[in-house]
Amino acid sequence: MSEVLRVGMVGYAFMGAAHAQAWRNAHRFFDLQLIPELTAVAGRKPDAVSAAAERLGFTSTETDWRRLVERDDIDLIDICTPGDSHAEIAIAALQAGKHVLCEKPLANTVEEAKQMVAAASSAAERGVWAMCGFTYRRTPALALARQLMEAGRIGTIRQVRAQYLQDWLHDPEAPMTWRLDRSKSGSGALGDLGAHLVDTTQWLTGQSITGVSAILETFVTSRPLSGERSGLGGHGDGGADAPRGEVTVDDAALFTARFSDGAIGTFEATRFALGRKNALRIEINGTDGSLAFDFEENNLLQFFDGGQPVEEQGFRRILVTEPEHPYVSAWWPPGHGLGYEHGFTHQVVDLVAAIAENRQPTPSFDDGLRVQRVLGAVEDSAARDSAWTTV
């Protein structure tokens, strides 16, 4: 019989629910050496965390994450909280000998991320592992894109084009949430969405972003406090006289970038692209071909092979649902697509495999720090009228 991996999760809202379903389901579809056990979930409000435990499948609760870290019956701490608590929880958990999965972005500042990397490095010497949750790496179509790039199918990379477009904040009367409070979230669209773009493009290309020139914009500077939610948006219900809170983060981020091997890139992250719900789009152009992806059609990869005769050239639509494609063999027959939640399941599969084999899972905290350095450089550039800023 497989051994168990006893999971303690901090936070249980939108991202906590996504993580919990992955812990519940991974071993039911994939052959794992360690079977995840949903041991405990932590939250500040007793009634709410108890309801969450019942809904998500955890067998016990805590109202202080420190109790979770102290428990002997927990092997891994899964951090699904706002960014302002990531560093404290992760460092304490690693020092206590718990493996850690931490949601992105790794931290709210470069300095916090450095401290987390130091803690992870020390823990790794004891066989205790840490991973940052950039789940889009686990989308089969993007994993296939990386395989094609590693095989040299698009040649030398020349340009990277990356967008993450959402619209859930377009209504100026949508209520204030923690995502709009810099003290909790660290940044706005830049960290929430742009972090995914930075990680995914660096991972796909195998290159690091070395410099940026950026613009950050806040379109709506205050929002109603009534009807406040901790999740994704919604509409205010307090009327024109409702008290308002100050928005202290960016609504949109634009930046150009240069990569370590000479490629150039353009990046856009916004929560004001009306009509776009979750459009993470990446196109990479090389000397021999191009690849294009849009998460709103997440089972598709577009591939242009420049080596074909001119009269036969054109973007080819690859439906990434075959058992030969990354992760897909564990799921449904060809043509039966996967969704957003499957990336989290694949994340659990890869993390559990790394822990069972006593090796570093990826993305590591070092990878998270690489992203944090880029986010910091973007903010620095925007503060200096888009001045070119080295990462």
pLDDT digits (tens, 9 = 90+) for 352-364: 999 999 999 999 9
pTM metric for this prediction: 0.95
Element (H, E) at 162: strand 157-165
Instruction: Determine the pLDDT at residue 242.
Output: 73
Structure tokens at 334: 């060809």
- Nearest Cα neighbor of 377 from 391, 364, 367 is 391
Mean pLDDT calculated for residue range 52-58: 98
For residues 174 and 224, what is the distance between their CA atoms, to the nearest angstrom? 7
Measured CA to CA, the distance from residue 90 to residue 58 in angstroms comes to 20
- Residue 314 backbone phi and psi in degrees, to 5: 160, 155
Q: Is the pLDDT of residue 2 over 70?
A: no
- Please tell me what DSSP assigns to residue 176: P
- Which amino acid is it at 126? R
Q: Domains in the chain, start-ordered, CATH in brackets?
A: 3-136 (3.40.50.720), 139-339+371-383 (3.30.360.10)
Helix axes 14-29, 46-56, angle to 10 degrees: 30
User: Over the stretch 287-342, which tens digit does the pLDDT of each residue have?
Assistant: 999 999 999 999 999 999 999 999 999 999 999 999 999 999 999 999 999 999 99
DSSP 317: E
Q: Is residue 246 scored above 70 in pLDDT? A: yes
Q: Which residues contact 370 (CB under 8 A, 6 or more apart)?
A: 199, 202, 208
Question: pLDDT tens-digit profile of 84-143?
Answer: 999 999 999 999 999 999 999 999 999 999 999 999 999 999 999 999 999 999 999 999
